[in-house]
Amino acid sequence: MYLDKEEKQKIFKDHGRLKKNNDTGSAESQIALFTYRIKHLTDHLQTNKNDHSSRMGLLRLVGKRRKLLNYLSTTHINRYRDIIAKLNIRK
């Protein structure tokens, strides 16, 4: 599998709100995990252009990440600005 336990814990520790390995529920850690998966699927789809099921999965992940980003932007604007600066996902 492309994402093992150690890589997930590293993502949660680097981008989570509490900066711990087990911080899996915060919006920042979920956005970071979705971003990692989106980048992986984007690379996959560049080589496999007719993989429509992966394309639909990519669109679902982008929608989930967008919903979490909208939540952060309306409730905690500073956390929103921090996560988009760290991940370089919006300009």
What is the overall mean pLDDT for the chain? 89
**Under 8 Å CB-to-CB from 88, ≥6 apart: which residues?**
none
71: domain range?
26-87
**The tokens of 19 are what?**
């900066």
Helix axes 27-47, 5-15, angle to 10 degrees: 130
Counting residues of the chain whose pLDDT is more than 70, the rounded percentage is 93
> Which pLDDT does position 24 carry in this prediction?
82
Confidence (pTM): 0.88
Q: Look at 58 and 12; give whichever has higher pLDDT.
A: 58
**The tokens of 89 are what?**
């996902």
Is residue 10 a part of any domain in this protein?
A: no
Given a cut of 60, whether residue 1 has pLDDT beyond it is no
**Which of 75, 74, 72 has its CA nearest to residue 85?**
72
Q: Look at 5 and 71; give whichever has higher pLDDT.
A: 71
> Which pLDDT does position 6 carry in this prediction?
87
Residue 14: which pLDDT band, with cuts at 50, 70 and 90?
A: confident
- CATH code for position 44: 1.10.287.10
State the total domains in the chain.
Answer: 1
Is residue 52 a part of any domain in this protein?
A: yes
Is residue 7 a part of any domain in this protein?
A: no
